[in-house]
A and B are shown apart, each in its own frame.
Chain A
Amino acid sequence: MNSTTSHELAAEPIDPTELVEERLVLWYFLAAIVSISISLLGGLLMSMQLIHWNPHDGVEYLSPGRWRMIHTNAIAYGFIANSFLGALHWAIPRLTLKKVLCRRLSYFIFAAWQVVVLSTVAGILMGHAQGVEWGETPVWIDPLAQVGLFLVAINFLTPIIRAKGPLYVSLWYFMAAFVWTFLTYAMGNFMPQYYVSGTSAGAITGLFIHDLVGLFVTPLAWGLMYYFVPILLQKPIWSHGLSLVGFWGLAFFYPLNGIHHFLLSPIPMFLQYSAIVATVAVEFVVLTVIINFFGTLWGSSRALVTNIPLRWFYTGMVCYFLTCLQCSMQVTISFQKVIHFSDWVVGHAHLVMFGVFGLWFFGMMTYLFPRLLRHPWYSRNLCEWHYWLTAVGIFVMASDLILAGLFQGYYWVSLQPWDASVNGSQPFWIVRFVAGVAIISGQICFFVNLWKTWRLARASDVESLLPNTTYGPAWTAE
C-alpha cells in the first residue's frame, strides 16, 4: 500500500477491533441481504408479467408497476446504501485510526435508515410513490431520509477531518461523496416536486438519476476498491498520479452528464450536446481508473483463481469497462434514435448496478463475513457457486437485454404495429427470466452458506481460529 496508510503512520500498533463497531457492520450487511431479497422478488415478478406468467395478475398489492419501483428503490436505498454503510464502518476507522463521531449516533442511524427503507417499500406498495425515477420514496419520507444523510455525513466526516497526515485516495472519494449524496438527494426529491415543472424539471430529474449513480454509488464504491484491492493483493496501487486523474476527472465531468438521460427531448439542444461531450470525457476518466487497477493486478493475476473476493472485484471492474464502453456508444444521437426507451437501457442499468456494484458488495461480504463472525466460510464450494451463478447470470441477462433493445428499436423505427415489438421481445424476456432465476439461485447458495457459517461460529468458541487483525491473503482459514 501507499506509504500513507494506517499501519505505518501509527506510532504503536492499534487494535482495529477497538475502532470498529463490528456488530454494526454485520447488521448493515444483513439488512442489505434482506433488501436485495425483496428487490429480486420484485424484479422477478415484473419479468414474469412481461412473459404472461404472472400468476397473480390483477391483485393490487402485487401490481407489477408498483413492484418494479420497489425493485429499484430497494436496490438503491436498501441493498446499496446498507452495504456501503456497513463497509464504511469497517474501512473509515481503519483508514483514519479514529472512531466515527459517536457510537450511539451510529446505532440511531442504522435504525432510522431501516425505517426509511421499510417505509419506502410500504409507501410504494400502498400507492404513494413519487414521480421521480429512483426517487420514488414517498414525499413524506424524503425529509427523514435527508436528515439521515446529514447524520451519516457528519458521523463519517468527523474521523476523516480529525485524521492526521496526507489522505489516502479512498478518503478523497468518501469525503466528496458525503457532500454530493446529500445535495443530490435534496435536489432530486424536492425541486421537481415543489419548485419547477416541465422541461426544466426533466433536466433536474436527469441530473438526479445520474448523480445518484455517479456521485453517490460510484465514488463510495471506487473508494472501497482503493481500500480493499491493495489489502487483498498486499501491494500498493500502481500509480498515484492516475488515482488523482481518476478522482478529479470524475468530480468534474460526472455531474455534467445528467441531461444525457433525456436526449432528443424538449430540453435545449446545446445542453444535450454538452452532456454528450461530458459523457465521452467520463469514458476516458474511467479508463484511467481501470488501467490503474489492472496495473496493480499485473504480476499477481493468479490470485484471481484462489482469492474469491478479489475475483468478485475484478469481474466487477470488467463489467465496469463494458458498461462504459456501451455508454460511449449509446450516448451518441445515432444510437439514441434506435435504443432509447428500449431494453438496451435496462441491460445497461443491470450491468452497472448489479454487474459492477452488486458484485463488489458480494466480494466485500465474502471477505468480511468470516472476519465478522470469526469463522471461515462453511463451504468454499458454495462460495464458488455463488460467484459463478451470479456472474454468468448477469452476463447473460445484460447481453440478452442489450440485444433485445436493438430489436425493439428497429421494430419501432420501421412503423410496425406496436404488438410486433412486444411479441418480438418474448424470447428475450424469457431468457432474462431464466437469467434472473440463475442470479437468485446464486444468492440462495450465499444465504445457505452464511447461515451454516453462522451456526458453526455460534457452536464453536473459536476466537483464536481467525484473529481479526490478520490481513493475510488467505480469505478463509484453510
Chain B
Amino acid sequence: MSGILSPSLPSDLSQTQMLNNLWELQIRNNFISDNDIDELSQRYQISKVEVEGVVSFYHFFHRKPTGKFTIYLNNSIVSEMKGFQRVKEAFERETKTSFGSVDRSGNFGLFLTPCIGLSDQEPAALINFYPFTNLNSIKVKEIIHALLKGSEPAQLCDSPFSNIYTPADNKTVFFKEFPEGKALKNAETLGQSGVIDCLKKSELTGRGGANFPTHIKWNLAKSQKATPKYVICNADEGEPGTFKDRVLISSNSKALIEGMLICGYTIGATKGIIYLRGEYRWLEPKLNEAIDDFRRNCLLGKDCGNISGFDFDISIQIGAGSYVCGEETALLESLEGKRGEPRTKWFFPVERGFMQHPTVINNVETFCAVAHIIEMGAEEYCKLGIPGSPGTKLISVSGDCKLPGIYEIEWGMTVAELLELCEAQDPFYIQISGPSGECISMKEKFRRISMLDLLGNKDIRCGGSFMIFNSQRDLGKVLLNFSTFFKNESCGICTPCRAGNFIIQRKLEKLINGLANKNDLDELKNWGTIIKKSSRCGLGKTATNSLIFAMDKFRDYFNNKLDKDFNGLNFKFDMEAALEDYEKFNAP
C-alpha cells in the first residue's frame, strides 16, 4: 500500500492542555500577553506563531485586555428581533464605551457574539461568562450599576429557565425520572452486541444534525482493534436557535453521563470527554457535580457499575467560542489544543479520531436518548413516533411565538401542529434546524417533522432549532444575519467557504439596498450552489442552503427587491460616496 495508510502522525498528548492554559490566563488577566505566548511555546516546544495561531482562532481569547467585566452580547437573529439594538445602546450608554472596545477605566469590555444558546430568553448576554437573560434598557442599567458598586456577575446573573413541553399522556422519553445506573445494568445484560441491536431496532440516528445511524457508528468503533478508544460528547451546540442540549445538561445530565458510559462499555473505551462550548461555562459546576455523583456511586472510575474490567472516566473540555468546533473533526482538533480546522475525510473519527485513536462522537441528545432507550427497552420506545421514525425529538422553539421553549415531540408531528402548540404569532417564514438548515413557508406547514425522506420534500428533518418569523420581519435581513454568521465562523481553510461566504454577504447587502437586478439573483443562486458543492466541511456545504431555498420559496420578496428601472446604464453607482474621501481630504 506504498505507505499511504501509515503516514507520520503526531502522537504527543501534551498539547491537549493548551485550551485550558489559555482559559486560565484569559480569566485571570483578561488577556493573553506576549510573555504568556512565549511561555506556552516553551512548554509545548512549538513556535510562538503556532500558539498565536491557536489564540487568534478562538473568539474568547484576546491579545489585549478585555476589561474587568467582559460582556458578550448576543447578536443572533432572534436577539435582533427581541430588542438587540436597544440593549446594545443601553450597554454603550451605561459603560460609556462602544462595542469592540474597553472603557478607559478598564472596567468594561463590550463584544458581540453569535447565539449563546438562550434564544427563548433574548436579548441575552454573558458577563464574565455568566448568563444574563431577557435584557432591556432598565435591566442593563441596573446590572452595570450593581457591578460598579462591587457586586459580582456570579451573584447577579440569571439562572436561565426554559419552558419544557412534553407529549401528552406522559409519553415523554427525556423528561421522566431516570434511575441512575439502571440503564448500565440493562446494557450489561444485553451485552455489547445486544446494545447495538437495541439501537438498531430503535432506529436511533444522530441528533447533532447529520442523522447518521448511531448503531453503525458504534459498531464500527467496536470493531476497531486499536486502543485506547474514546467517547466524546459534542456539547458545542453552536447552531443559532438551538438550546436543547443546554436544557438536557441542566436537567438530564445523569442520562447524558450514562449514555456515554453505555457507549464506553459497548465499544470498549476507557475515556470520555464532554466538549462543552465556552458559552456554557456556567453549566460546568453542575455537570461536574453529576460526574462526581457517578464516581461516588462507583458508576465511574474502576469497574464501573460493578462490571469487572470496565474502567471508564469522564472529563470536561471547555471550548472557546467557535461554531465550527461543533463539526466533529474540528472538535477533535480543538480537543487536541489546536486551531479548530476540520480535517479532510482521509480518516473517519471511528478509525482515527482523538489523538489518532478510534473515537465515537455523539451529540448530547443522542447519548441521552441511548440511555433512555436502553433503560425503557426498544419496544417501548418504538411505540412512539411513526413507523420508520420512532421515538421523540427535542425541538428548541424561538422567535415570534407566545410560548418559546423546549418541545419534546413525537416524530411525525406536522409543522402546523407545532406552531399551534407554541402559539405562533402570524407565522410567515420558519427556519428549521438553524441557519444551516432549511426554511419553509406557510404553504408547507403540513409537512411532518420526521427522519423519513431525508432528501425529498415530503417530510422535513429537524436538528433541533425552530425559529419563527412573522410577516413583518424583513426576510433579507434574516438571511444577511445568517450569511454574516457563516462568514465570521468559517474556519478559513478552504477557498469556497472562506472567500465565497464573504462574496455572498456583499451581494446580499447589495440586494437589500435595492441595487440588485435579475442577473444578481441568478448569480447568488449559482454561486451559492458552487460553495455548497465544493466546501470541505458541513459549514460551507450548508451555509447557503437557506438562501437558495428562500429564493425559490419566497420569490416575490426577491423580485420586489430588484432595481426596477434597471436599463444597463446606471448601476446606482453612488458618485457622492465615491468622491467623499477626496472632498474630505481637500477640504480647507
A and B are partners in one complex rather than unrelated chains: no
Query: A residues touching B (Cβ–Cβ < 8 Å)?
Result: none
